[in-house]
Amino acid sequence: MNYLNSVQLGIEYIEANLDFDIAIATVAAEAGMSQWHFQRIFKGLTNETLKTYIRSRRLANSLDKLLTGDMRIIDIALSAGFESQQSFSRAFKDSFKLTPNAYRKLADKSLFLKKLQFNSQYLAHLRQNVLLTPQIQQQSRMLLVGCRTAFYSVDSEKNNIADKLPGLWSEFMARLSEVPHSIAGTCYGVVQQVANDTDLLEYYAAIAVSHLDEMPPGMHSIVIDKSRYAMFTHTGAASKLDNTVNYVYSSWLLGSGELHSGGPDLEVYGADYDPVSADSVIQYAIPLQQPQL
């Protein structure tokens, strides 16, 4: 799979269906990817969510209809996915600083939003001044125990990381001593999809254990199968970890020739992690498909 080509397939599907309701899951399926991974790569490349991009392209499509045809504004609004002419007019004015009717009278084509084009030159631009290179390693099977929640990531319009993850970590760290047979020194954040057709994710704040025993109340276990991982180093505040993840999913994964296996991503908080230090280190790892023999 060529990730850059796959994202372009998703873009082409959007362009061909601007007059219809566009399901994010369908866009991802057209690209041959899961919904979460498509959204992750798309946001890493464009710095906007897929939903925002679809909305902007449908608005741009409405500009063409206003200039080149005699459709009623209410019909243009409905074809752009708005429930009413009023909601369309508000969104249009927010984007273009004038009403649809005023734009029709102005007939200024310079307001069109450009279609995103992904190519090797753009990818090279993203890589400028980025020095991150991963260690490719075999991760042994791990048994983890910790606290769990479901959340929506920064790639989603429902993003609720700030409401979910800090509290989860606070709860887990306060109860760390309750975990039997724990292997001290390193904690893990585990990120995995709930299903291919949703951007809802599952997150564990956890620690490795030598073997599983009775669970502390409210905690859960997760098994990380033996896998090949690309391990990236993030230096700095945990709040900026998404910058490293954007690099991993946009620049490195797109140009590496590797494929994400679909397994869980790992955040590794080891001895070099210090939540109040600018030199704090977090490892971020993504699972890779095993090479074909």
The tens digit of pLDDT for each residue in 115-139 reads 766 666 665 544 443 346 899 999 9
Q: HSE-up of 70 (CA within 13 Å, CB side)?
A: 0
Rg (alpha carbons) of the chain, rounded to whole number: 22
Q: Which residues make Cβ contacts (< 8 Å) with residue 57, sequence separation at least 6?
A: 14, 15, 18, 113, 115
Cβ 143 vs Cβ 209: under 8 Å: yes
Mean pLDDT, residues 94-102:
83
State the CB neighbour count (10 A cutoff) for residue 10.
25
* Residue position matching structure tokens 């490795």: 208
Spatial separation of the C-alpha atoms in residues 228 and 108, rounded to whole Å: 53
Cβ 83 vs Cβ 89: under 8 Å: no
The boundaries of the domain holding residue 220 are 135-288
Q: Comparing 71-75, 179-183, 228-232, 240-244, which segment has the lowest mean pLDDT?
A: 240-244
pLDDT for residue 227: 94
Domain check: are 173 and 86 in the same one?
Answer: no
| pLDDT tens-digit map of 197-250 | 888 999 999 999 999 988 999 999 999 999 999 999 888 888 888 878 888 887
Q: Identify residue 280 by its one-letter amino acid code.
A: S
Q: Calculate the average pLDDT of the chain.
A: 87
Q: Is the pLDDT of residue 277 over 50?
A: yes
pLDDT for residue 113: 66
Q: What is the CATH number of the domain that holds 250?
A: 3.20.80.10
Domain check: are 279 and 196 in the same one?
Answer: yes
| pLDDT tens-digit map of 202-215 | 999 999 999 998 89
Q: Which of 95, 111, 127 is a domain's end point?
A: 111
- Taken as a whole, the chain contains a residue count of 293
Domain check: are 103 and 142 in the same one?
Answer: no
Task: State the pLDDT confidence band at 183, using cuts at 50, 70 and 90.
Answer: very high
Q: Is the pLDDT of residue 62 over 80?
A: yes
pLDDT for residue 130: 38
State the total domains in the chain.
2
The whole-angstrom distance between residue 161's C-alpha and the CA centroid of its chain comes to 12
Mean pLDDT, residues 139-157:
92
Domain check: are 171 and 96 in the same one?
Answer: no
Domain check: are 59 and 171 in the same one?
Answer: no
Rounded to the nearest 5°, which phi and psi values hold at 288? -110, 150
Question: Helices 35-46 and 50-68 meet at what angle, rounded to 10?
Answer: 70
Q: Do the domain assignments include residue 119?
A: no
- DSSP assignments along 134-161, one per residue: PEEEEEPPEEEEEEEEEEE-TTSTT--H
Question: Helices 3-16 and 50-68 meet at what angle, rounded to 10?
Answer: 40
Domain check: are 139 and 284 in the same one?
Answer: yes
Spatial separation of the C-alpha atoms in residues 5 and 24, rounded to whole Å: 17
pLDDT for residue 165: 95
Q: Do the domain assignments include residue 122?
A: no
What's the pTM value of the predicted model, to 2 decimals? Answer: 0.78
pLDDT for residue 125: 45
